[in-house]
Amino acid sequence: MKRKKTIVKKNKKLNIYFTWTELPAYGYFLLKFIYLQLKKKKYPINFKVISTNTSKKNHYKEKSDFFRSIKWIKPDKIYDWYNLGLEYPDIYFQSGWHIKSFKHLGKITKNKNGKVVLCTDNSLKKKNIRQFISKFVIKFLLRKNFDYSWVPASSGRQLMLNCGLSHKKIFTGLYSSLIEIYKNYTSPKNRKKQFVYVGQIIKRKNIKRLIDAFNSITLNKEEWELIIVGSGDLIFDKLQLRNNIKIIKHSLPSKLSTLYNESLFFILPSLHDNWPLVVHEAALSGCFLLLSDKVGNIREFANKNNSIIFNPKSVYSIRRSFEKAMLLKNKELNAANKESTRLGKIYNYEYSYDKFIKIVNLSLKERNIKI
């Protein structure tokens, strides 16, 4: 068998570009970490980030080299790499497969023999007919448009395996919460008797059942509060919102961190959620977790020592999770506090960076390139 010739790239940087839809804070600071690590280690890599939300140009209020290097584009416009002032990439990390501008850039990259990495937080949904049918379409899209996939963790990996991507071409560690902000600095004995929900106030998040379940608790709950943080299109009857239920608008991460640390419990009743970062935030903050069995990152952040899992379609099941939590002893709460923090710390910027480098190394190996 004839051995492939090794291509040595001398005095030329490897072009690696990353697109991310509307570049949220957790994505911004993760990519900034990767950028700074590459710079610190002096890798010959030209790392660029492209995002679709031009309104966020001044959102992060930074004057760093990384911030100034970001390209801001429109999601529904067709671009070539030269339109963005960039050479063709050796590796292109594409956020999702539904953004028109990103898809076109991926198609061009493939035509120029570059490698394309699908970055997605979609997770495997058991007994989901729609996903079962669509996986045949996804198989075709994966084979045609992508070389590798980068997902948050196990559920995303399983989905990609089911869609025909080989094990060695799937990588975890795509997401990390703001680990410098969300920390556990309050012991359970100093926390309030309250349950906190953080997220959108929309039908998929199942907030009406959450409120109904809290209102139906049979135990004495005068000392307990349910705090709902978020905004959305759902409207509640004033009779539903008793004195011990509060709804407040989305807060800054620093204020959310304080709220998590004031609360014994975090609850998420979603009807489906791929990789809710709020679970990671709450775990890092040491909260006991009450989670819907439709949450996609249960395996990573929850176990019998720090969580209660419930059926989100049952008001009774949600109510029982409230009541079980209210009856927990100090010893159990202390153990849960430590376990949540331990699990939360596993997923961090270093973990994600390590996976990023593994993707880069595999791409170079498959193309027989040395830099």
pLDDT computed for residue 236 by the predictor? 73
pLDDT computed for residue 220 by the predictor? 85
Other beta carbons within 10 angstroms of residue 42's beta carbon come to: 7
Q: Same domain, yes or no, for 160 and 30?
A: yes
Tell me whether strands 115-119 and 148-150 are parallel, antiparallel or unpaired: parallel
Residue 248 domain flag: yes
> In whole angstroms, what is the distance from residue 124 CA to residue 156 CA?
6
* Strand ranges for the chain from DSSP E: 7-8, 14-20, 45-51, 71-72, 91-95, 115-119, 148-150, 170-171, 192-198, 225-229, 245-248, 263-268, 288-292, 307-310, 369-370
* Closest of 107, 118, 95, 9 to residue 49, by C-alpha: 95
Q: Same domain, yes or no, for 113 and 210?
A: no
pLDDT computed for residue 136 by the predictor? 59
Tell me whether strands 91-95 and 369-370 are parallel, antiparallel or unpaired: unpaired
**Both ends of the chain: CA-CA distance in Å?**
25
Residue 342: left if φ>0, alpha if ψ -120 to 50, beta else—which one?
alpha
> In whole angstroms, what is the distance from residue 245 CA to residue 98 CA?
38
Q: Same domain, yes or no, for 325 and 290?
A: yes
pLDDT computed for residue 294 by the predictor? 94
> In whole angstroms, what is the distance from residue 73 CA to residue 8 CA?
33
Residue 252 domain flag: yes
**Spans in the chain with pLDDT lower than 70:** 1-11, 54-61, 124-141, 238-239, 371
> In whole angstroms, what is the distance from residue 35 CA to residue 16 CA?
11
Q: Which amino acid appears at position 39 of this protein?
A: K
pLDDT computed for residue 142 by the predictor? 72
CATH number of the domain bearing residue 237: 3.40.50.2000
Q: Contact, 20 vs 95, CB < 8 A? A: yes
Residue 183 domain flag: no
Residue 331 domain flag: yes
Predicted model pTM: 0.90
Model pLDDT for residues 219-277, shown as the tens digit of each residue? 888 899 999 999 888 777 766 777 799 999 888 899 999 999 999 999 999 999 999 99
Q: Same domain, yes or no, for 352 and 286?
A: no
Residue 181 domain flag: no
> In whole angstroms, what is the distance from residue 41 CA to residue 23 CA?
25
Q: Same domain, yes or no, for 169 and 65?
A: yes
Residue 24 domain flag: yes
Q: Which two tokens stand for residue 5?
A: 């010739």
pLDDT computed for residue 8 by the predictor? 47
Q: Same domain, yes or no, for 256 and 272?
A: yes
pLDDT computed for residue 146 by the predictor? 92
Residue 262 domain boundaries: 188-346
Structural domains in the chain (count): 2
Q: Same domain, yes or no, for 69 and 146?
A: yes
Residue 180 domain flag: no
pLDDT computed for residue 234 by the predictor? 79
Q: Same domain, yes or no, for 166 and 121?
A: yes
Q: Same domain, yes or no, for 140 and 258?
A: no
Q: Same domain, yes or no, for 106 and 205?
A: no
Model pLDDT for residues 196-218, shown as the tens digit of each residue? 999 999 999 999 999 999 999 98
Q: Same domain, yes or no, for 337 and 354?
A: no
> In whole angstroms, what is the distance from residue 216 CA to residue 311 CA?
16
Q: Same domain, yes or no, for 215 and 272?
A: yes
> In whole angstroms, what is the distance from residue 156 CA to residue 125 CA?
10
